[in-house]
Structure 1
Amino acid sequence: MRELTYYVAVSTDGFIAGPAGEFDQFLFEGDHAAGIWQKYRGTAPTELANAAGLEYENGPFDTVLMGWNTYAVGLPELPNPYRHLRQIVFTRDHERPEGADDVEFTDRDPLEVVRELKAEDGGGIWLCGGGALAAQLADEIDRLALKLNPVLFGDGVRLFGDRSYDPAALRPLAITPYESGVVLAEYARA
């Protein structure tokens, strides 16, 4: 059975984006970049990976899931951001943008879609964001991989949106600190 991994950058105070959706304070360069890329190869948009000379084949994921706000970050320049992966965007209110021919848009229940994906053959499933979608899928997340950044946002998009209190136990797999201040914290469902 395929696993769903929520792999995302997060501020030290638990936000995946600031109040206006900004994420420019996250560290994209530094000693953490190469090590994290080796482990999570293929998690950059295809054009950006190509421009940086990063190999994205044979990564842990063959499918990426996004909410509309996460997907829309790249518009209009990147309407088909992860061409090397199967891309599914959850939205009820938006139409397919021009150039997004290889992106699946759905208004279906994310839980149903993820359960169907897990039952299929294939590689890992990457939940790229956002927080509201992560809150809906919290009980289906098998692994959590956080690029914990040494920055405080104070407000913004929470890691798990406005999820109601429903504790779920996780067990640590690896905690890898880097000189840049980024910490890769990886967990599995207990």
Structure 2
Amino acid sequence: MRTLTYLVACSLDGFIGDPGGDATSMFRYLDEEYLAFLTGEYPETVSVEGRRALGIADAPNKHFDTVVQGRGSYQVGLDAGVPSPYGHLREIVASRTLETSPHPNVEIVSGDLVARVRALKAEDGPLGIWLCGGSGIAGTLIDEVDELVIKSYPQVYGAGMPMFGGAAFAVSDFDLRDVRSFGNGVVVRRYGRVR
């Protein structure tokens, strides 16, 4: 059984973006030390364009072979003219508004996303599935998340897009597996779900 990992950047108060979904204020923390960690440990989470710019275009996938994201997250790539932003992964986009895929590598899921993710998790393979975002998709898939990798940035938003938007109240327990802190104040925590 493959795992679904929600690897996400958030503010100290648990927001992944401002009320409109913008998280560019977090980009200022991409210094040399932190970027070396991200590209070394999670190279597959860097977009195709980013991988080229950073000289890691051919870096092997270490943790994931599939990415799941919502239309809002995917739209960032479309707006930049990149219809397959994670072409080194199998791309799944949950959308009720995109009727056809703009790229052969991108599968549009307009129906039961939970069922599609369960099918992905049931596949054989050594690598897992990265839940990229956004908030609403994470809320829909909250019960399917096996692992959390939370990149906490030293910012407080006060309001914005929560990590799990639209999810009903329910307590889910996770065990802390790893913590890594950086000189810029970023802390990366990895948790596994307690089943």
- Is the 1:30–1:180 Cα contact (8 Å) retained in structure 2? no
Equivalences for residues 103-114 of structure 1 within 5 A: 103-114=106-117
Match of residue 152, structure 1, among 144, 153, 156: 156
Q: Does 1:186 align with 2:190?
A: yes
TM-score (norm 2): 0.92
Which residue of structure 2 lines up, in the alignment, with residue 61 of structure 1? 64
SS of residue paired to 1:117: helix
Which residue of structure 1 lines up, in the alignment, with residue 123 of structure 2? 120
Unaligned runs of 5+ in 1: none
- How much does 1:3 deviate? 0.5
Which residue of structure 2 lines up, in the alignment, with residue 2 of structure 1? 2
For 1:19, the aligned partner's letter is P
- How much does 1:58 deviate? 3.1
SS of residue paired to 2:24: coil
- How much does 1:95 deviate? 3.5
Mean Cα displacement is larger for which, 55-64 or 83-92? Answer: 55-64
Q: Distance in 1 between matches of 2:84 and 2:62?
A: 18
Which residue of structure 1 lines up, in the alignment, with residue 75 of structure 2? 72
Deviations 1:113-167 (A, max 9, x none): 1110011122210000011111111111110001100111222211011211100
Q: Distance in 1 between matches of 2:193 and 2:64?
A: 18
- Is the 2:2–2:121 Cα contact (8 Å) retained in structure 1? yes
Identity rate, percent: 40
Alpha-carbon RMSD across the aligned residues, in angstroms, is 1.4
Unaligned runs of 5+ in 2: none
Mean Cα displacement is larger for which, 50-59 or 172-181? Answer: 50-59
Which residue of structure 2 lines up, in the alignment, with residue 28 of structure 1? 30
SS of residue paired to 2:107: strand
- Is the 2:73–2:133 Cα contact (8 Å) retained in structure 1? yes
Q: Does 1:175 align with 2:179?
A: yes
For 1:129, the aligned partner's letter is G
Equivalences for residues 62-101 of structure 1 within 5 A: 62-76=65-79, 77-96=81-100, 98=102, 100-101=103-104
Structure number having the greater helix percentage: 2
Which residue of structure 2 lines up, in the alignment, with residue 43 of structure 1? 45
TM-score (norm 1): 0.94
